[in-house]
Structure 1
Amino acid sequence: MDDCDEVLRTSLFTYSQYNIFNQNVEVKDQNVECEKLSKEFTMYRNFKNFCQKLSGNIKNVCIFMSEPPRKREPSQERETLQKEVYCDNLNYWLYDILIKSKVPDNEKNILKSKIIHVFSKLWDTTNCNENCELSLYDIDTNDFGYMKELYDYSKSYKAMEYYTSNLDALECKSQYCSYINKVDKIYKIAEQKCSSAKDKPYCTIYDNIPKDKIPSEFFRQYKCTQNDVVESLVNDEKIFGTKFQILEYDNNYSSSVSSRVSGQDSPVALDQSTSEQSPSNNSAKVGLTLFGMSSIPLFLIYKFTPGGNFIRKLIRKNSGSMSISDNMSSQDWFGLSPEYQNDGLQNKRFEVLYQAMRKP
């Protein structure tokens, strides 16, 4: 089952990005802004850790987006647009964690929450605004949740499309069916809201999803039934494991300042340890040097595309054989859309940067 969690985590484009953002980054140099903010938000015992993680993510996305275009990319304009998606993903990742931590003090308008303006200052200290800005969503928390789910789906349905003609290669069917069912519920809400008016922020994303790519269509093509649906399989904690951490509210803080916070609900905290440590941050130059290592096509297909699930299945089936290529047709190897193949390349380059930054 753990393997199936990894399959879903790595095959959906935005999920693979969020998984990278979730990784802890231990910094040697003192982050002055995070030190200052952690004293202001002492009610969250892992605030400093999260602040450093966010700061590292902003810097790494900025470095990745400022990388010169590569000659073999289809076009510079297309690569630039693809890189901008990484900035969008970072913003969605940040807001999602803040909302799930119940940090926003204004659920009807996230933009009016103090924490957003606090992190806006942190963003400014990274000097990254030229490449990637903090998005300011004038939206309530419920609508943001709908918008993010539709956004994730809009960036990931190309991966699911691959299996519609390769159902024999589909592993972990229950995970995919559960994910599709989850998105379908939100899609139907958006369908109802956006049919009468277009004032919801997620309506643009909804309108851009082709009718033959809607969740219910994949549910049908995958031959899913409600028996295949297990809602707990698509919880963040299940998909991302211990790497996924919300801001943890310190209950001792609540009791010590009860006179000031009486009448307010304490944010719900996950019972997770924050003691997990990762290697120290290193020079970005190492990461940029290693980008050239990301062009090995077989490894990329194996690790970062839906085709990798098919390869893993064949490896297990043909354990001990010298080669698995005889069991695969060219259609199996190259059936992935060019757009999704390029997503895999970009993801690998991005992960190489992060791994290099985390080495001591």
Structure 2
Amino acid sequence: MSNKRKEFTLTELAEKYTFFEESDLYKFYQEVDKTYKGVENNNFCNKVLLSGVEDPVIITFLKSILRGLYPLLNNENFPIVNNINSQDKHCIYLKYWLYDQLIINNFHGYDIKIIFDFLEKHKNACIKAKSPEKSCVFYNLTLEDIDDIKNLYAYSELFYETKIKNFREISKDKKYLNYFKRGFDLYRRSKIKCLSARSKEFCKEFNDYKSIYEDYKKQSAFLSCQEHFLDTLYNEDTSSSEEALLKVGTPKETVDSDFYELLKKDDLLEKSHLSKFYESLNEGYGTHNDSSCTSLSEYSLKEKTTICELLGHVENILEKWDKIYTPHQELSSNKACDYMNYWFYDRLSHVDATMCDIEIFYFLWHKYARAKHPPKKTCYNKEYSGLSKKQLRNKKTLFDFLEYYDYIKDELNKDKNENQSDYCKYIKGIFQLYKDMERKNISHSYSEELKLFHMKFVPNDELHFLEEKCPDMCLEFVFNKKLKTLCPFEEKSLSEEQKEKLKACEHLKSSSDRGHIDEKYEKFYNITNLTTYNIYKELNEEAKTDNSYSICERLIPFNDIHCGIYDLCIKVVRNLKKLSRMENKKRTDRCEFITHWVYDEIRKIPNIFSNNSYGTDAIREFFNAVYDILRKLDITNCFFNTININFDEQKEKKYLHDYFKNYNKIKNEIVCNNTECEKYCEYVTSINELYGKYINRCCYCFKFHGCKERYPDYFKCDDIYNPHNIFEKLKCNQIEKFRKGMVKVGKSNFADDHVLWLTDKYGKEEKTLLKLEKIDSSSTPEKICSEITCDPFYVAAIGAFGLMGFFLLFFILYKLTPLGSYFHNRGTRKKRNHFQKRYKTFLDDDVEFKHGNMKNRRMSLAYHQVRRPIE
């Protein structure tokens, strides 16, 4: 027997959760269990009925259960059993006890069949109940059926019947929560399965169980909301502590308390219709009428007083709806009704009522509004789908924020607002709430609020506005569905020890320790008014030092020797976050800049080019972090070379990349005097050397059809970008230093040079042959050649076509002339002649005599009587 099944016997469940001991099932179970373990009696049933069973273990078990069944079914004294509330569930409780015993005693399929056969055979004998209401039918179930039925009973009789406060205790252990949740799934599947398979024993058992709940409409209603509740418990973070529950009517703010205090600072609370309408509802709340509770009498509620009070307040508000709604004529009727629904979300989130209680409340609200008021002069409830108190609070919090957002935006637009930081922090919390609600919207509980949020921030530039006003808040990732959290990188404060390691490297004295800084680069390639300068300046801006990205913490141990490697990682995070929000050409361009910038910044890190392996480990760990960042941001089109990096070559590639990005600005916008032009001329002259070094490596060119760029991320092959064009445009040869001019770099070879050479050569030979045709053929026969006979292609083609023509001709002759019949009959004749020869030889060999003297020989004749057929 599976140990897993034994974990879910009633005894084990009650040991795990002691509150199950209060259930009727447990009380019944314990009472029957006493008789099962009692002293054996020798009554008539034990002696007669067990005569057909041979297995001693099964005989012992049957004797034990008969001690429990016989007195229970014959109205003998069971004070606890007879006093429990659910008298018509005795059979269910008895079966549950029996199924537990089968599992506890490790019975297998064949043993279980014997036991059920015994119960079926003698159901009208000693175990027959004296009264019909006490009768109990035992169906011949398999071990799997027993496990399923017992699971279903445990869900309905234990989980639901326990107090609502105990649900969360069960949810802390996913194993047990899944067990009870499976019970509901079994109920739902079995209702469908047993419509078409009623003859099966399992379905007979299930239908008996279901019929009991059909007699109790108020109890059967719980099944619809329990499923939602189980899903909520499963998805909810049970580690969070329970909030204190407030009673209905307790004075409190109409919006979230933190939001309420924030709005009060800038007097925004009264600007929205929302707050005013909430106040109107508070005034119209009134006291409830006890007569409203009469409609609850037919329902089973755990918090009847609370639901009665809420329902009474609904009636009060709807009776005064015209009075409440009239002062707010600028609101549409639908918007006013929305406000009322969200106001009740707040009330319901602060009462100790079950999901099923709330579901009945909404049902009666709808019923009352439909019966008492015309459709256009009332407010119906929103659809309720088993929402928890936390879900109700989330829905209202997000809705309230969206109603006030325009007023918050106005405050953020002001030049100086002391509360801007507080607004940004609250907005970040709301955006994280949106992400959580979107992720947990499995049953579409939040669909309406998510749609409103989407409409507010997607079709316009609201996100760009918030990014500008609230930088480094990760607000731009709110609609990235691949990220579970708003910020893909965890931020936390640095410890004192970490801050110590990240201090500036004051101990680095010599310039050699500072890393490799190219002074030529500083002079020629770092011109401040070029396009690339501003981009690299933005990429290299100092990052915050008070917070740490956990993804970069792995580099802190390297920072004391390789000063700046941690800061570079922080900058990479910031820059790649911005890259992830860019699209198309802008994204590609920024990726190229980031790639070249990273290699250039690594060159400047102290001791990074040391011969020991520690420097190599630092670079390896840095790029591991970079690729983790790319993966978290879902950037799949921006990569770094991390194997055998040649930093000198990467530096040259960066210079070339920057030149091509700066080309248009230099050519079209730079107007300079002699002093300024000298700086640009030095820049162009320096670039010309690199241009000549890389042009043939990077360009795959054809003489008449342009070039294919092998490395477009740092080199362009179009002749328009030749540095010599800039040299001439700036008139550098007029400057004394450059009077000798600058060598114009060209493409030294083309990919089709050889083909062009062969074509040219072949053309010349062709002309020579054409001239020979005018010479007398008798004088130069060896030099005259036909185009067909000299070209091997033509010779092969003519041969192939000739062979095909021969086969085609032969096929026609074979099919359409006597020649085909001749060849065909010839083979037949050969076969016939061969057969005749073989047959003659056989006859000659098979005869019993040959021609000769037969005087002295006997002749034997053998004959067989011919049987005439029966007519």
Q: Which has the higher contact order (CA 8 A, sep 6+)?
A: 1
On whether the aligned pair clears a TM of 0.5, the verdict is: no
TM-score, normalised to structure 2, is: 0.20
TM-score, normalised to structure 1, is: 0.43
Task: Name which one, 1 or 2, has greater alpha-carbon Rg.
Answer: 2
